[in-house]
Chain A
């Protein structure tokens, strides 16, 4: 069988790109002919992208071929999906609702709105895959046929997580202070300001020997300002730190932050999957997360969820997670067990089951 994958951009390290590449590798290993196309790519992915014109010229009208269309942001490349005569699989990675971006970036908000408005137009696909149950529910709300939808979780390479880490940084961070960690893009839907608020209560009220690391890339100047103001307004200078600002940290440093962390916290209001939860599970870091969007699905009980942000109470929960060894061990064990559900082999098996119906 010949399989084509189309996505908006191929960017090294990006979650959707990783998923595309895992599927590409798996399809090749199954003896299928696999091709990848995107509207844009970075230097690393240049060789992978065969170019959408090539797809149009050679494969667009092949009725026997299979097209997997990855959808994570609005892009004009949906025209290739519309024109394609292949059997079509719509792979939904979720698009952030525009209201989160509206106060900070009208352009981004408009792109999100366009992207979400377009979702119902993909109902005519032969099959729809999403990477979490939450995303699947969104598809059902958009009118997709439940019988022709399925879930294939993000394929996370645990081998990569166990890679080299910055040992010096781990030593530096293991100085007796409590390290509270947030990992993710610093964008409005992640509600990083809530994390800062909670940490302010923890730091000022419970344990001053603590610090917060906000690890991730930034996107919006206006929102960066909000976070900076939250940090200064709560008098957390030097206690709430954004390492590698604004471009984020290296993989080796990220692994070091996980290794040195005592608690992972996220207050995100909207997640399509939330890979950092899996990373925290891998490193045995207890998780404290807002019960929203795909988080409870991904967490699967391997962490503490809170529905409303009551900073003093959640701060007490951090203290509980830091000091209650029994609870930490329990959550670590549950995290390891939950990781098994996301093993690449089981995700790829499910994916093959879905795609094999087109063989």
Chain B
């Protein structure tokens, strides 16, 4: 119930409007499916993916923890070994009264008297590190260990910090991924390349087909790339091309076609008193609001004589990419467009030329 100051605000009227829109197919089956879609399933899927990512991250961190503990344990073992060896060495020195030779593992390359022993054949294969005295070796090893531990610690801290912000990062990543259409949603492939897609343009074949329908002159409302206007212009059949999209107009003008910019094309048509045309091409009826489109087709009914044609683009196929662009209004159902044309006396036929879905209305002799 809708209330204004405790009284119903014509709620029945609002409901009637909803019904009317449905009856006039303004809520297409696709749109109804979109609006009635159970979002819970979609949410569950993306939430599960988020949890999976978090779980993976957590596991990676745990593994890092284990690796760090293992390294630390190894470091302690090595320190214990070194101190035990030194202890044994000191005890041996105390017993014999002279410096004992360190065990093989810590054997220095120098002799007991400090003179370099004659080079042994296998000495060449000894590592440089093993030629150092035990204390230096130990210090070098400890320093190395400290550096490794320090680097590991820093890395570990970074990972922890990352963990703190992981949830936030994941969320942002998901947003980015979705905006790049690599998100976990069905139909992403179909929507691929939406964001930077240019305005849909008609192919040269479709343009030739449209130009072939024209006998005396054509009016183009909405410029679907330069191919159509060029084809008409070359044949001397372009009466007027108008668009409310500045870039499309500029592109056509750059090819010396008489294209005009106007936010309300019908007003321009009325003002320019375009006469003698027998073809009206509206490539993007979805860019026009309902009343404007009706008025335009009414103009066509009045001004196109017998045999006159109206060619409407259908927002299917490639044009599905169009909804995301500024200026999009809505894809009109075929039944609605057909009804508008038939009301103005056009016989309607659905066609597809070079991948472009079209609705062709042709006025009979009696029209």
List chain A positions with a Cβ less than 8 A from chain B: 193, 197, 200-201, 204-206, 208-209, 221-222, 224-226, 228-230, 232-235, 237-238, 291, 301, 304-308, 311-314, 316-317, 319-320, 331, 334
In the complex, A225→B167 CA distance in Å? 11
Would A234 and B34 count as touching, CB distance under 8 A?
yes
In the complex, A106→B347 CA distance in Å? 65
Please give the distance in Å from B171's CB to the nearest CB on chain A. 6
Asked if B209 is at the interface (CB within 8 A of a chain A CB), the reply is no
Would B171 and A221 count as touching, CB distance under 8 A?
yes
Would A233 and B2 count as touching, CB distance under 8 A?
no
Would A301 and B1 count as touching, CB distance under 8 A?
no
The B interface is mostly helix, strand or loop, or mixed, namely helix
Which A residue's beta carbon lies closest to that of B7? A301
In the complex, A200→B183 CA distance in Å? 21
Q: In the complex, which residues of chain B have a beta carbon less than 8 angstroms from the beta carbon of A201?
A: 35
In the complex, A222→B5 CA distance in Å? 37
Please give the distance in Å from A195's CB to the nearest CB on chain B. 14
Please give the distance in Å from A179's CB to the nearest CB on chain B. 15
Would B17 and A204 count as touching, CB distance under 8 A?
no
In the complex, A48→B6 CA distance in Å? 43
Q: In the complex, which residues of chain A have a beta carbon less than 8 angstroms from the beta carbon of B162?
A: none
List chain B positions with a Cβ less than 8 A from chain A: 1-6, 9, 11, 14-15, 17-18, 21, 26-27, 31, 34-35, 37, 39, 42-43, 46-47, 50, 167-168, 171, 174-175, 178-179, 183, 185, 323-324, 328-330
Q: In the complex, which residues of chain B have a beta carbon less than 8 angstroms from the beta carbon of A193?
A: 39
Would A304 and B2 count as touching, CB distance under 8 A?
yes
Would A232 and B329 count as touching, CB distance under 8 A?
no
Looking at A209, A301, A312, the one whose CB has the most chain B CB atoms below 10 A away is A312
Q: Please name 17 pairs of A and B residues whose Cβ atoms are closer than 8 Å in the assembled complex, sorted by A.
A: A197-B35, A205-B31, A225-B46, A226-B43, A228-B171, A229-B39, A229-B43, A235-B323, A237-B324, A291-B3, A308-B1, A312-B21, A314-B2, A317-B2, A317-B14, A319-B17, A334-B5
Which A residue's beta carbon lies closest to that of B31? A204
Looking at B4, B9, B37, B178, the one whose CB has the most chain A CB atoms below 10 A away is B4
If A205-B26, A225-B46 touch, whether A235 touches B175 (CB-CB below 8 Å) is no
Selected from B2, B3, B34, B174, the residue in CB contact (under 8 A) with A235 is B34
In the complex, A221→B168 CA distance in Å? 8
Q: In the complex, which residues of chain A have a beta carbon less than 8 angstroms from the beta carbon of B37?
A: 233-234
If A225-B46, A225-B50, A291-B3 touch, whether A205 touches B328 (CB-CB below 8 Å) is no
Would B14 and A320 count as touching, CB distance under 8 A?
yes
In the complex, A235→B321 CA distance in Å? 13
Would A305 and B183 count as touching, CB distance under 8 A?
no
In the complex, A245→B14 CA distance in Å? 34
Which A residue's beta carbon lies closest to that of B38? A233
Which B residue's beta carbon lies closest to that of A312? B18
If A205-B27, A229-B43, A312-B18 touch, whether A301 touches B178 (CB-CB below 8 Å) is no
Which A residue's beta carbon lies closest to that of B42? A233
Please give the distance in Å from A102's CB to the nearest CB on chain B. 16
In the complex, A196→B6 CA distance in Å? 26
Selected from B42, B167, B328, the residue in CB contact (under 8 A) with A221 is B167
Q: In the complex, which residues of chain B have a beta carbon less than 8 angstroms from the beta carbon of A320?
A: 9, 14
Would B34 and A301 count as touching, CB distance under 8 A?
no
If A204-B34, A301-B6, A313-B14 touch, whether A225 touches B171 (CB-CB below 8 Å) is yes
In the complex, A228→B3 CA distance in Å? 31
Selected from B2, B15, B31, B175, the residue in CB contact (under 8 A) with A228 is B175
Which B residue's beta carbon lies closest to that of A334? B5
Would A229 and B42 count as touching, CB distance under 8 A?
yes
Selected from A222, A224, A232, A304, the residue in CB contact (under 8 A) with B183 is A232
Which A residue's beta carbon lies closest to that of B185? A232
Q: In the complex, which residues of chain A have a beta carbon less than 8 angstroms from the beta carbon of B168?
A: 221
Would B2 and A208 count as touching, CB distance under 8 A?
no
In the complex, A320→B17 CA distance in Å? 11
Q: In the complex, which residues of chain A have a beta carbon less than 8 angstroms from the beta carbon of B26?
A: 205
Selected from B18, B42, B174, B179, the residue in CB contact (under 8 A) with A313 is B18
In the complex, A59→B233 CA distance in Å? 91
Which B residue's beta carbon lies closest to that of A320? B14
Q: In the complex, which residues of chain B have a beta carbon less than 8 angstroms from the beta carbon of A334?
A: 5
Q: In the complex, which residues of chain B have a beta carbon less than 8 angstroms from the beta carbon of A237?
A: 178-179, 324
Which A residue's beta carbon lies closest to that of B46? A229
In the complex, A312→B47 CA distance in Å? 28
Q: In the complex, which residues of chain B have a beta carbon less than 8 angstroms from the beta carbon of A331?
A: 4
Given A200-B34, A208-B330, A313-B2, 18 further pairs, Cβ under 8 A: A193-B39, A197-B35, A204-B31, A208-B328, A209-B329, A221-B171, A229-B39, A229-B42, A233-B37, A233-B39, A234-B35, A305-B3, A306-B3, A312-B21, A313-B14, A314-B2, A317-B14, A334-B5
Please give the distance in Å from B8's CB to the nearest CB on chain A. 11
